Amino acid sequence: MPLDHYVTLGHSGLRVSPFCLGAMTFGEDLGWGSSVKESESIIDRYLGLGGNFIDTANVYTKGHSEKIIGDHVGRHRNKRDRLVIATKFSANLHVGDPNGGGSSRKSIVSQCEESLRRLQTDYIDLYWLHNWDQLTPIEETMAALDDLVHAGKVRYLGVSDTPAWKVAQAQLIAQFRGWAPFVGLQIEYSLLERTVEGELMPMARELALGVTPWSPLKSGILSGKYTRQNAGSVQPTGRAWAAGFLHDKAYAVIDELQRIAGQLDTTVARVALAWVQGRPGVASTILGARTLAQLNDNLKALDITLSAEQSAALDKLTTPTLNFPAEILPMVRMLHAGGTTINGEKSQLLPSFGPTKPDDHY
């Protein structure tokens, strides 16, 4: 699937590339990102291959990420209008100001104006609620976002890193009141982070939210750089906390990724990315490449098609432990079906819970 074979995001007409260019790495301000020149090269390569979806946030490298995008493409109208530029609000860039962050009307409007200035554009294509502000009523947040849409400063809305029940509440409030709804859901999703399959992924499919996974390589742990053979001698640099993800389970997943990569004559990173992009409900996976070489390698994951056996092996190895009531839902379906086959799914009778033959009831 080429980068310029676009998909619509959720229940909207917004066309985006199947891989989104993540800009969290743009800028060296935090000691581990890309230089301005490298960031611009990454943007140019992505756009040159037909990519049109760039994702950033007001807080990424203290706002420098947005400025790099604005300086390189935002201020050039002919380039900017061909792009889907997404950014996020919530993080407070103003130390000492309690209203500098969060999701109140005051903070949302202020953060939007600041992002527009840094991006050097007069509108944001996709504006993400970065994370849930527990101190602000969700009605206030959704009303303020709807006003930004009607003012022409924002085209579409999305939500990130928020509990499923709160997203559902916000979405239904917006729909009932005729406000602009969310069209996208941004969450961490990878072979090493699948707990989102309990609530968030099913919710996204039910509410028609296009999922854009972040950290599909689990902070580079599944990039192919780390193996069981070099365990202990090769550690993440710049982001020391990522070393905590290098455990026995991770190495078992990496071993399997190496096996499949060998079968397909490809790389570990591409197999891991292909698995994420192939999950039900995923619209566009976010690539956080720090170098041009990483981007070029990761983009080739779009050429990978995993076999049923390969996908099943990865699924089995990484099956997550989900919260209640996920574990009992398969049994519940059996109780409902009465031994019949529905939508191609067979059921069996459960003697411990119900009847086992016709008329076997009071």
Catalytic residue IDs: 60
Select from 199, 205, 198, 154 the least CA-distant residue to 184. 205
- The gap from C-alpha 47 to its chain's centroid, in whole angstroms, comes to 20
Strand residues in 152-263 grouped as ranges (E): 154-160, 182-186, 210-211
141 vs 89: CA distance, rounded Å: 11
| Inter-residue contact 129 to 90 (CB < 8 Å) | yes
Main-chain dihedrals φ then ψ at residue 31, nearest 5 degrees: 95, 0
- The gap from C-alpha 186 to its chain's centroid, in whole angstroms, comes to 4
How far the first Cα of the chain sits from its last, in Å, is 57
| Inter-residue contact 14 to 46 (CB < 8 Å) | no
74 vs 194: CA distance, rounded Å: 35
